[in-house]
């Protein structure tokens, strides 16, 4: 695969999505090399001098007042990495580790970290040759940087820790050797440059964003199918309604739903003579709710794109004047806010989807669909408990949507007395997307079953393709059967985007 060339400070959200979904090799545009090398030279000069500069020739955190002799600076950096490898829990998924590494490369490429170019080359080669550090997922509070997870990543660079290569998990030095690479001993400040940063939190937040956007697109498609299942009206999708309000997400959502429903025979069958005046909000207000969630995600995307291009370690080598200054760019508060925003969006998309499911299984609200969408209710319970499962998942996501960024606690002997909690704020997003995709998968099952009960009337051609995609994996529910595996399959069709691809309607883009 041809490496993706990135320009530090100018990487787009589309490129970040490509890194996440496609996992390409990465290389920095070499126009950044002079600035990187100039900063490294400045660090080397200071390390050889008498002046104490934080992180270069001093201890760290509360131990910053301890001056370190020039001959001990390399040991200082090695000790820093080893002592900070205190992560716990399950390993970070491979594609997320690769995104982390890519984000660290971008940060180094800004020319303010003071690392040697050979370290950048080693990270690039690790990505190219499939050396993926094993990183425990828990242990970061999102300031000062994602210390523990980034330390585990860096451990492999110096031949410690563990990494996966060619399907095997090996000690760091052996993994590098298996890929034809060699560890590099860290010089002054380089260990600190690796672990001070927000790349773990930002990688998880970006992953959550990309997954959440796909879920939102699925929600638009599935809700259109639900609209036909209950013989809902398309009048609330008229363009002028949404233009009069003017929110981009709402207009985009309504447009996608109109396209999905265009040509539905079911819809045309009840334009006249329908005694119902209005549909419930879960049908009528889908563009306003999921559209608003999409706008929130787009706002979060702006923050995360900025952060992905940022130099976030400490101290930073400034160009004007030539000074090495201790600041606070490692504080992941912007990432924490973005993650909280995405979490709220996910929760609301699931909440309104769950109400559509409840609508379809309730014979008093579904406009003549059989109870719980079974052809023989009483003897069969149909999708009764599948709906209950979605209620549980909806409630769980509501709980998970509570803000994390407000929950600070002092650490490191009160030196780091306010932290962002961005790391687990971002990590929860993957779990929330999983819950949401179960809800949407079950809604797809209900909506397809409901539409099929309207035979000989048929839905639109795009939505017929959605049902065909589903039915190629899961047959219609004629009588009660063991459903748990089918719920997993339905979720998988949502996860993968397979149903979206089958529908073939252009969905709103994140970028």
Grade residue 13 by pLDDT with cuts at 50, 70 and 90.
very high
Task: Enter the pTM of the model.
Answer: 0.96
Q: Which helix (H) or strand (E) holds 423?
A: helix 422-452
The three-class DSSP label of residue 162 is: strand
Going by the DSSP 8-state scheme, the letter that residue 264 receives in this structure is -
H runs (alpha helix) in 51-167: 73-84, 94-108, 117-129, 147-157
CA quadruple 223, 225, 228, 233: dihedral positive or negative? positive
* Other CB atoms within 10 Å distance of the CB of residue 501: 11
pLDDT at 62: 67
Q: Answer yes or no: are the C-beta atoms of 106 and 158 closer than 8 Å.
A: no
- Tell me: the pLDDT tens digits for 164-181? 999 999 999 999 999 999
Q: At residue 331, does pLDDT exceed 80?
A: yes
CA distances from 373 to 261, 358, 383, 454 (A): 22, 11, 6, 12
Average pLDDT over residues 302-321: 94
Q: At residue 356, does pLDDT exceed 70?
A: yes
- Tell me: the pLDDT tens digits for 57-99? 887 766 777 788 888 888 989 999 999 999 999 999 999 999 9
Task: Report which of 268, 142, 244 is spatially closest to residue 197, judged by C-alpha positions.
Answer: 142
Q: Answer yes or no: are the C-beta atoms of 338 and 404 closer than 8 Å.
A: no
The residues, any chain, with a CB within 8 Å of residue 432's CB and separated by 6 or more, are 208, 212, 343, 346, 347, 397, 400, 401
- Tell me: the pLDDT tens digits for 183-199? 999 999 999 999 999 99
- Determine the Cα–Cα distance for residues 487 and 438; give it in Å rounded to an integer: 7
The residues, any chain, with a CB within 8 Å of residue 28's CB and separated by 6 or more, are 5, 6, 7, 8, 105, 106, 109, 120, 124
Strand 26-28 to 4-6 pairing: parallel
Q: DSSP characters for 308-326?
A: HTS---SSEEETTTTEEE-
Give me the phi and psi of 155, to 5 degrees please: -55, -40
Would you name the residues annotated as active-site residues?
54
Q: Answer yes or no: are the C-beta atoms of 37 and 51 closer than 8 Å.
A: no
| Helix and strand numbers, DSSP H then E, in the chain | 20, 9
The residues, any chain, with a CB within 8 Å of residue 263's CB and separated by 6 or more, are 460, 461
**Hey, what are 39's tokens?**
């900063």
- Determine the Cα–Cα distance for residues 316 and 190; give it in Å rounded to an integer: 11
* Other CB atoms within 10 Å distance of the CB of residue 88: 9
pLDDT at 275: 83
Degrees, nearest 5: CA angle 67-191-333: 100
CA distances from 163 to 108, 218, 466 (A): 22, 35, 41
**Block residue for tokens 């079950």:** 442
């Amino acid at each position: 695969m041809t490496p993706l060339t990135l320009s530090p400070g100018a990487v787009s959200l589309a490129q970040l999505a490509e890194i996440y979904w496609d996992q390409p090799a990465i290389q920095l545009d070499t126009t950044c090399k002079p600035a990187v090398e100039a900063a490294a030279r400045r660090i080397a000069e200071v390390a050889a001098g008498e002046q104490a500069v934080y992180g270069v020739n001093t201890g760290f955190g509360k131990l910053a007042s301890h001056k370190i002799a020039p001959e001990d600076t390399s040991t200082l950096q090695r000790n820093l990495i080893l002592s900070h490898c205190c992560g716990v829990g399950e390993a970070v998924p491979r594609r997320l580790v690769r995104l982390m590494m890519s984000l660290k490369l971008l940060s180094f490429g800004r020319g303010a970290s003071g690392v040697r170019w050979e370290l950048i080359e080693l990270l690039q080669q690790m990505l190219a040759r499939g050396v993926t550090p094993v990183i425990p997922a828990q242990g970061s509070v999102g300031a000062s940087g994602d210390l523990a997870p980034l330390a585990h990543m860096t451990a492999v660079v110096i031949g410690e820790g563990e990494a996966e290569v060619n399907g095997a998990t090996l000690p760091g030095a052996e993994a590098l050797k298996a890929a034809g690479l060699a560890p590099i001993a860290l010089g002054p400040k380089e260990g600190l440059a690796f672990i001070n940063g927000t790349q773990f939190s930002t990688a998880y937040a970006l992953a959550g964003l990309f997954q959440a956007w796909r879920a939102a697109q699925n929600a638009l498609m599935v809700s259109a199918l639900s609209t036909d299942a209950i013989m809902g009206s398309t009048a609330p999708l008229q363009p002028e309604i949404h233009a009069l309000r003017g929110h981009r997400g709402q207009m985009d959502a309504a447009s996608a739903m109109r396209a999905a429903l265009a040509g539905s025979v079911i819809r045309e069958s009840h334009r006249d003579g329908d005694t119902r005046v209005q549909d419930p909000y879960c049908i009528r207000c889908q563009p306003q709710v999921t559209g608003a969630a999409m706008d929130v995600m787009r706002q979060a995307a702006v923050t995360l794109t900025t952060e992905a291009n940022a130099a976030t370690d400490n101290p930073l080598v400034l160009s004007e004047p030539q000074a090495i200054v201790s600041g606070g760019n490692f504080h992941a508060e912007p990432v924490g806010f973005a993650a909280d925003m995405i979490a709220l969006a996910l929760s609301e998309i699931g909440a309104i989807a769950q109400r559509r499911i409840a609508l379809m299984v309730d014979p008093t609200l579904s406009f003549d669909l059989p109870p719980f969408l079974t052809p023989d209710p009483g003897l069969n319970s149909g999708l009764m408990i599948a709906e209950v499962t979605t209620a549980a998942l909806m409630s769980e996501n509501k709980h998970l949507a509570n803000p994390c960024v407000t929950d600070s606690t002092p650490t490191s002997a009160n030196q780091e007395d306010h932290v962002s909690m961005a790391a687990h704020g971002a990590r929860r997003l993957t779990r929330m997307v999983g819950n949401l995709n179960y809800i949407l998968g079950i809604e797809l099952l209900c909506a397809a079953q409901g539409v099929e009960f309207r035979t000989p009337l048929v839905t639109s051609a795009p939505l017929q393709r959605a049902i065909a995609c589903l039915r190629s994996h899961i047959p219609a529910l004629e009588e009660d059967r063991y459903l748990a595996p089918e719920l997993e399959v339905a979720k998988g069709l949502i996860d993968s985007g397979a149903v979206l691809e089958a529908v073939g309607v252009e969905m709103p883009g994140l970028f």
